[in-house]
Structure 1
Amino acid sequence: MSTRTGEAHAPQTDALRTGRTDVLVLGGAGVDTIIHVPELPLPYADSYMIDSGIRTRAGQTGDFVALGLAALGLRIHHLDLLGDDPEGDLVRALHREHGIGLTALPQPAGTRRAVNLVGPDGRRLSLYDTSRARPGDRFPEETLGALATAARHVHVTITQPCAEALPVLTATGVPLSTDLHDWDGENPYHEPFAYAADVVFLSAAALADPERTMRRIVERGRARTVVATAGPDGAYLLADGELTRVPAETPPAPVVDSNGAGDAFAAAFLYGRLAGEPPETCARYGAIAGAYACTVPASRADAMDRDRLLRTAAGPRR
């Protein structure tokens, strides 16, 4: 069976054959082209010589969350639209390599792609190709409902067309999480995700008052747990009405790229949540995995495994 048809291939059908997966990841599949630049912002010039090379690899937000969860030993299924193109083949190969179930529905507009400019300090600037989507794109309700009800949890990325999937997902009663990334607290696009999820992740980078935004999410939506990551300043955790600060963890190696750190945080937090750990422990797991992700070069797709996560968490804070 061709992997470009959008039909399930092993282990894609495992979720439906066995009746259970741990997490369904919805959306966020694609490829990134990585370019290391001498500084950010990049001053205007007619040309730059890139000695480190320009590399394209599979891995956007949904792929990285799925990869992080799978590395922690959970059974993962990923649902998204992919093109019949070389970029789609890279995404399919990534999932096969890591044993992640993938249902790839046809996307005639092509596989989602982006260019990441990465500075010497690991910060990045992402340029997203919005032409790789169509206004009428939808996930078939039967497929979406079957995969969601086969899962213990659903993580919803904010890529199109996931917003249209939210009513179907909430009707299943399966717990939901989402990552709003660098939401400014005002953009209405993010609100359906913020108010439909039980667990909400976001970055504090664009928030003037993280606590106010976090409490508004709880007041207006379903969430009882909201996490705002703040890079080297750690994170804010709002759980059961109480706001606490989560210290940052010291990366185990030099920081080379921040790409995927938020996805790694979310994956490790969800691992802890599904294991029945309290929110504070889940947030510590997230901080550990996020710090590790910052040491992984942008050209690689890698994630912390369960043994290393638990061993690090059992030791003193670094």
Structure 2
Amino acid sequence: MPAATDRRGPPHVGAGVVTVLVIGDVVTDILTVHEGPLAIGSDTIASVRIAGGGSAANTAVWLAAAGSAVAFAGVAGEDEPGDARLAELHQAGVTTSVRRVPGVATGTVVVLTSDAERTMFTDRGANRLLARADIERALALPGLRHLHLSAYVLFDPDCAPAGRFALEEARRRGLTTSLDAASAAPLEQLGGAKFLSSVPRTSLLFANLDEARVLGSPDPADLRHLADGVIVKSGAAGASWAGPDGTASAPGRRLPAIVDPTGAGDAFAAGFLTAWLAGETPHAALDAGNKLGARAVAKLGGRP
């Protein structure tokens, strides 16, 4: 990563009283949808679109769409893609606490989608520079009740200390916390449940079925040693919960077709958190998550 001088700019753009703080990546998604196998070494016909992405940024936008007062904290390059990504967040109603860094590109992800499956090529760019000072600045926002962290922050050794600090400091300040397990492959490389056991305990842990299996079990009750409450998302089959008040489940929504699964887990987390923070039952929160997740897969891209 090249050396760079930080340009912090305004600490919080669009700031008011914010209930939920989401910390993690903001990227440019290059979305491609193709039919049939890739023609390696030749041409493959596809639809290509550029859009805002990043698991944490997506979750923030879905939270805003669900009616939550939300802020996003992260790092972006001082470049045109960074300008565009932040403008999208502001337009969606998301307060931002984002450090801009010249000389480092805003992150980019190439997403290949075919038959409702995704393959992603990731350049995290400026996201790798997330630091403790970024967390402290974001936690100064008034009215915070909950902090949500994408595990992509913890997968990268450059910014993992900032992610751990975020969870520790939020809990110290009396906030509830949640962690999205993010991705099965890096989670498995880092040791699954052993890796997460070294991370500060959270109020909620979100995992899809593949991530839950890497963590040890598809049954959320078996993963309660990792968080106070555990949510396992099973796509069209619905989602399940295990927490101090027992277990719950909610069926998935019927859809005529899945266009693109990008952002479905981010949307689910937003729906669940909005309901959970409003005092709804686990079943109602699961149902709210399934509803937003279904909206996400019915369209191309990870945003509403």
Query: 1:24 Cα shift?
Result: 0.8
**1:101 aligned onto 2:95:** yes
2:229 aligned with 1:218: no
Post-superposition Cα deviations, 1:279-302, rounded to whole Å, max 9, x if no partner, equal 11100111111111110112x731
Deviations 1:151-203 (A, max 9, x none): 1211111233323432222221200011102345733554445x521011011
Q: Does 1:257 align with 2:250?
A: no
What code does the residue aligned with 1:218 have? Answer: R
Corresponding letter in the other structure for 2:272: F
Aligned residue type for 1:96: H
The residue correspondences of 1:287-302 to structure 2 (distance < 5 A) are: 287-298=290-301, 301-302=303-304
* SS of residue matched to 1:46: coil
> 1:155: which partner in 2?
148
**RMSD of equivalent CA atoms:** 2.5
Is the 1:58–1:87 contact (alpha carbons within 8 Å) kept by the matching residues of 2? no
Please state if 1:59 is matched with 2:53.
Answer: yes
**1:229 shift after superposition:** 0.6
Q: Structure 2 length normalisation: TM-score?
A: 0.82
* 1:58–1:103 Cα change, 3 Å: same
Q: How far 1:142 sits from its partner (Å)?
A: 3.6
2:88 is the alignment partner of 1:88:
no
- Alpha carbons 2:224, 2:243 under 8 Å: kept: no
Tell me if the contact between 1:69 and 1:76 (Cα under 8 Å) persists in the aligned partners. Answer: yes
Aligned: 1:79 with 2:73: yes
Mean CA deviation greater in 54-63 or 132-141? 132-141
TM-aligned CA deviation for residue 233 of structure 1: 2.0
Amino acid of the structure 2 residue aligned with 1:146: A
- Indicate which of 203, 206, 210 corresponds to 1:201: 206
Structure 1: gaps of 5 or more residues = 15-19, 303-318
Distance 1:189 1:48, change over 3 A: farther
CA contact (8 A) 1:29 1:61 kept: yes
Distance 1:154 1:137, change over 3 A: closer
Q: Aligned partners of 1:114 and 1:279: how far apart in 2?
A: 33
CA contact (8 A) 1:27 1:156 kept: yes
Q: Of 28, 31, 34, which residue of structure 1 is paired with 2:31?
A: 34
Pair 1:228-2:223 in alignment: no
Deviation at 1:262, TM superposition (A): 0.6
Which range moves more in the overlay, 236-245 or 130-139? 130-139
Q: Could you say which residue in structure 2 is the equivalent of 1:17?
A: none
Distance 2:135 2:252 in 1: 40
1:247 counterpart = 2:244: no
Residue 10 of structure 1, CA deviation: 4.5
Residue correspondence of structure 1 range 258-273 to structure 2 within 5 A:
258-273=261-276
Match of 2:140 among 140, 146, 154: 146
Between Structure 1 and Structure 2, the one with more strand by share is: 2
Name 2:178's counterpart in structure 1.
177
Distance 1:141 1:272, change over 3 A: closer
Native 8 Å contact 2:261 2:297 kept in 1: yes
Contact 2:239–2:249 (Cα < 8 Å) also in 1: yes
Q: 1:224 deviation in Å?
A: 2.5
1:79 aligned counterpart, secondary structure: strand
How many pairs does the alignment contain? 282
Q: What fraction of aligned residue pairs are identical, expressed as a percent?
A: 26
Classify 1:272/1:168 alpha carbon distance in 2 versus 1 (closer, same or farther; 3 Å). Answer: same
Q: Shift in Å at residue 56 of structure 1?
A: 1.8
For normalisation by structure 1, the TM-score amounts to 0.79
Conserved 8 A contact 2:8-2:99:
yes
Question: Aligned residue for 1:45?
Answer: 40
Instruction: Report the CA distance shift for 1:136/1:7 in structure 2 as closer, same or farther (over 3 A).
Output: closer
Does the CA-based 8 Å contact 1:6-1:103 persist in structure 2?
Answer: no
SS of the aligned residue for 2:133 comes to coil
Q: Pick from 113, 121, 143 the counterpart of residue 127 of structure 1.
A: 121
1:47 counterpart SS class: coil
Q: In structure 2, the residue corresponding to 1:205 is in which secondary structure?
A: helix
| 1:21 equivalent among 11, 18, 23 | 18
Give structure 2 stretches of 5+ with no counterpart: 1-6, 154-158
Aligned position for 2:112: 117
The alignment partner of 2:26 has SS state of coil
